[in-house]
Structure 1
């Protein structure tokens, strides 16, 4: 469950929204359990639901509003501190949603190109190009921040 929450956080950059995404994902999984229990790779199926839910939420206009800064930040795990210290979250924020999803699925979730393509509902070639462009953008952002 914590891996799913961290994956959601890397996608949306908001712990509260990440928790909502995980809850929605679990709800969808429960509603479609008769289909899900027949799936060979349940982890991939759940990640697909999570990413598709995030992409759907991202497309909604009301989600583009800035969140209230009055809520306290929930506690984070030590690995999250490392990611934040390196500034990786800000760099991921700069990527378009599908590129960010491709990079997170390939390098954080350690999925194959084929698994990522299945989750994103696109061809393996699209995953390769989105991942390559995402990494190129990240490299350029790192270079710009160091100069």
Structure 2
């Protein structure tokens, strides 16, 4: 067995790679959209403090997408059920992070709390939707005939 044949991806591994890349592209689009819209609307609504609130929401969207990408990458060889379970645990972890961030930023004077809250909510809902759509529409077979 040569090194080249050992490194070739199976059909299922290639399918998971496509799903992961799709998640990466959709995640980048989500992060840019949340950051730009949050910061733009925040600046129009509350000036510099609103801009800061939108930036916090955009940053949190990036953190949420990175958590999802790490879970999907780590679980790529575990099967669809395992990944779905890990993504569910990731959602609970994100909810915990959401609560901590809201708690820590509730009295911050350098940002507009309302803009930050709505931008963070958009990040949470958007990342959950991107996750769900990507995993549901990802066409990964359950059985890998090439696996040994």
**TM exceeds 0.5?**
no
* TM-score normalised by length of structure 2: 0.31
Instruction: Give the structure with the higher percent helix.
Output: 2
| Structure with higher RCO (Cα < 8 A, 6+ apart) | 2
